[in-house]
Structure 1
Amino acid sequence: MNTHVFVKDRPLDFFWFLPTSGDGRYLGSAIGNREPDNAYMREIAVAADRLGYDGVLLPTGQFCEDSWITAASVAPFTQRLRYLVAIRPGVATPAHYARQAAALDRLTNGRLLLNVVVGGEAKELAVDGVGLAHDERYAHAAEFLTIWRGLMAGETVEFQGDHLWAKGGRNVFPPVQRPHPPLYFGGSSDAAVELATDQVEMYLTWGEPPEQVREKIERVRASAKAKGRALRFGIRLHLIVRETEAEAWAEAERLISHVTDEAIAAAQKRLEEESDSVGQKRMSALHGGRRDRLEVAPNLWAGIGLVRKGAGTALVGDPETVAARIREYQALGIDTVIASGYPHLEEAHRVAELLFPQLGRIAGNWGRVERSLDGDRAGFASESGIGAARAL
């Protein structure tokens, strides 16, 4: 095994994305579309593992392949890659998810992470039999996580809430990571911040302009501090990195070259009518559905959000510039980047080759040693993947 050493002022975890709803080169067109079959998901996961990404995010929802099964199917082909599996609390019981999480954590030898997604569209949630209003969903999720965390810690759980209950529940087979695989969570509403600062280890934000991210982090930190807690922070965005600025911006325009004005209007109308997500409204407000206002901060481009919900922004530019923008977020407290790019296989290679050296990372092979300058965090990412799970 080849091991690389690099030193930088602050560790930065860098994740990629498994496109379990499909992939392609263009938005708004079926040209070059790729189905999310298992062979393709495995190819991306193996590439991410070899290139030095710390993990991959697997989304959840009606139009995604199941995140649990996909992770379990590709994990045996990787050695150190972590799997950030998105889950919806309303879809299954806490006990069921606890058994699944413990089993997958053992299967991956401690490489499981969980991204808790409450959901923001009543129509899609109804498909799964979830009919709760916005704040009720967060209250339900709080009860869900209270039970789930107790089970994962090996406790015998007795719980009676407004939405959920458990009587004598206990996980027979424990996870590798104790007390449980780390919980990631994002949300911009008051209810979301309350849940995050009560229950999770990592707070995620979509790629908003740095000033908005700063305000959000300060808000979450203050809430957590009042409860005697401290959270880590991550950002979810897309990347369009090319050797020159001109090439990167040309690629951004190419990505939406098949998107029509009618498609934009229809997508924005649907989001306005169907989504009660505060975070989604913040994303949509960045561009206002207009093509002429897509650079919403230096090198931060909102073109993807014209027709896609969720993470709708991308950092666009040459490697030096994109690295500098990431460092700006890092200076605010971000220590994890969850990135993606179309198509995901090719862009995983491109980002690793062009951007990683600018971030102090060395792409390729199976492991590395990470040290911060003051020695406060160090970890060895070995072939077993055990050392890759730093303290959260």
Structure 2
Amino acid sequence: MSVKPPRFGIWALVHGSRAALQDPAEPYDASWARNKALVLEAERLGFDSVLVAQHTANPHDPSLDQLEAWTASAALAALTSRIEIIAAIKPYLYHPVVLAKMAQQIEHISGGRFAINLVNAWNRPELERAGIGFAEHDERYAYGREWISVVERLLRGETVTHRGDNFRIDGYRLLPADPYRARPRIYVGGESEPARSLVAAHGDVWFINGQPHDDVAGLIADVSARVRPSGHEPLRFGLSAFVIARETQAQADEHLQHLFELAELDKPLRERQKANTDPQAVMHQTFARSARVGSNGGTAAGLVGDYDTVARRIAAFHRAGIELFMLQFQPFEADMRVFAEEVAPRVRRLLGA
């Protein structure tokens, strides 16, 4: 498997801090102003991508602010010049024709730097309270697979006629077509069997939640062995991870313990979130296997330590097949700068990149 040089991205703070919401060093702030400043700083520091997760209501506490993913992504596309903008999308929230047109427009605004991240939802109230309904796990993936099959063809500039279980489309074509490439990149999240099948058929990059190295290598081996449609490039892989990098291991461990203590204050919110989560979601089954802070696997990937240790572990993940590292920090801005200045250069030296 050929792996491109490592890329580093950040999670936008669409619903506040990633490890603990009640942190005196990082007061809750999911505003557009903060996220704009964060992404512009990330671009200046050399980060390659930003992932803007999609929630129409805050998944932790519905009384808290929540950044809207697609309007924010369009604005970020206009304000930035180099960084890749990845907007998450839950198929039930948008008809595929409407979403494809929105994606195509942001692709034009960005000059060919836009991507979508297909996720099939886990937060039950978000859909149920909107009157959309929350289908069973495999049914959501079947819907998502049909949905992305339509979106992908529209993004390629094809004239689409489709008769499926969920959509009937007659000779639809979106113009102007993408002048930068065949279509925007498609990222896919989820680790269940339907998710793996979907990404092999329609994805460009598979997002894997933070896990130990050997578990990640096993997931890559499984999906890499699956048949891809004719004409599709080999599948690429991304990893979500929460990073704590300090001058010494003791300092990193101390900060991790501090975040664990702060996270305990959020325990009532986590219990509410657990009650709202689909129990069949493999993501949350994986998270239950180990103590961690951060979302989407967080510190389970083991990127906690001194600068050299974190760099070596990232290099090992890269050798296993991970190309894009989608990172979280807390305090976010300060630790993002430390990573860019101390860890990223060490990784590139280790890999000769």
TM (norm. structure 2) is 0.88
Q: CA deviation at 1:183?
A: 0.4
Structure 2: give runs of 5+ residues left out of the alignment. Answer: 59-65
Partner Cα distance (1:193, 1:334) in 2: 16
1:313 and 2:299 matched:
yes
Q: CA deviation at 1:266?
A: 6.7
The residue that corresponds to 1:377 in the other structure is none
Question: Which residue among 41, 55, 58 is the counterpart of 2:49?
Answer: 55
The residue that corresponds to 1:303 in the other structure is 293
The code of the aligned residue for 1:249 comes to D
Q: Does the CA contact (< 8 Å) of 2:23 and 2:262 recur in 1?
A: no
Residue aligned with 1:162, SS: coil
The residue that corresponds to 1:100 in the other structure is 102
The residue that corresponds to 2:63 in the other structure is none
Partner Cα distance (2:4, 2:87) in 1: 25
Deviates more, 1:198-207 or 1:269-278: 269-278
Question: Which residue among 37, 40, 50 is the counterpart of 1:43?
Answer: 37
Aligned sequence identity (%) = 27
Q: Does the CA contact (< 8 Å) of 1:201 and 1:231 recur in 2?
A: yes
Q: CA deviation at 1:227?
A: 7.5
Partner Cα distance (1:358, 1:218) in 2: 27
Partner Cα distance (2:184, 2:38) in 1: 23
Partner Cα distance (2:276, 2:32) in 1: 34
Q: CA deviation at 1:286?
A: 2.2
What's the CA shift string for 1:282-304, capped at 9, x where partnerless?
A: 111223xxxxxxxxxxxxxx233
What's the CA shift string for 1:299-320, capped at 9, x where partnerless?
A: xxx233xxxx533325111111
Q: CA deviation at 1:336?
A: 0.9
The residue that corresponds to 2:211 in the other structure is 208
The residue that corresponds to 1:188 in the other structure is 191
The residue that corresponds to 1:339 in the other structure is 327
What's the CA shift string for 1:104-124, capped at 9, x where partnerless?
A: 011011110111111123333
Q: Does the CA contact (< 8 Å) of 2:263 and 2:293 recur in 1?
A: no
Question: Which residue among 219, 223, 248 is the counterpart of 2:226?
Answer: 223
Q: CA deviation at 1:211?
A: 1.3
CA RMSD of the aligned region, Å? 2.4
Structure 1 residues 182 and 226, CA gap change in structure 2 (3 angstroms): closer
The code of the aligned residue for 2:257 comes to E
Partner Cα distance (2:180, 2:331) in 1: 33
Q: Does the CA contact (< 8 Å) of 2:224 and 2:235 recur in 1?
A: yes
Structure 1: give runs of 5+ residues left out of the alignment. Answer: 1-8, 288-301, 362-369, 373-392
Partner Cα distance (1:115, 1:158) in 2: 24
Q: Does the CA contact (< 8 Å) of 2:160 and 2:170 recur in 1?
A: yes
The residue that corresponds to 1:168 in the other structure is 171
Structure 1 residues 282 and 30, CA gap change in structure 2 (3 angstroms): same
The code of the aligned residue for 1:124 comes to E
Deviates more, 1:265-274 or 1:101-110: 265-274
Question: Which residue among 306, 310, 327 is the counterpart of 1:322?
Answer: 310
Q: CA deviation at 1:280?
A: 1.5
Q: Number of aligned pairs?
A: 336
Q: CA deviation at 1:59?
A: 0.6
Question: Which residue among 237, 244, 250 is the counterpart of 2:254?
Answer: 250
Partner Cα distance (1:93, 1:253) in 2: 44
Q: CA deviation at 1:228?
A: 8.2
Higher fraction of strand: 1
Q: Does the CA contact (< 8 Å) of 1:28 and 1:256 recur in 2?
A: no
What's the CA shift string for 1:100-159, capped at 9, x where partnerless?
A: 011101101111011111112333332341422111111111111111111111111110
Q: Does the CA contact (< 8 Å) of 1:20 and 1:59 recur in 2?
A: yes
Q: Return the structure number with greater relative CO, CA threshold 8 A, min gap 6.
A: 1
1:134 and 2:122 matched:
no
Q: Does the CA contact (< 8 Å) of 1:323 and 1:359 recur in 2?
A: yes
Structure 1 residues 33 and 154, CA gap change in structure 2 (3 angstroms): same
TM (norm. structure 1) is 0.79
Partner Cα distance (1:286, 1:176) in 2: 46
Partner Cα distance (1:330, 1:273) in 2: 34
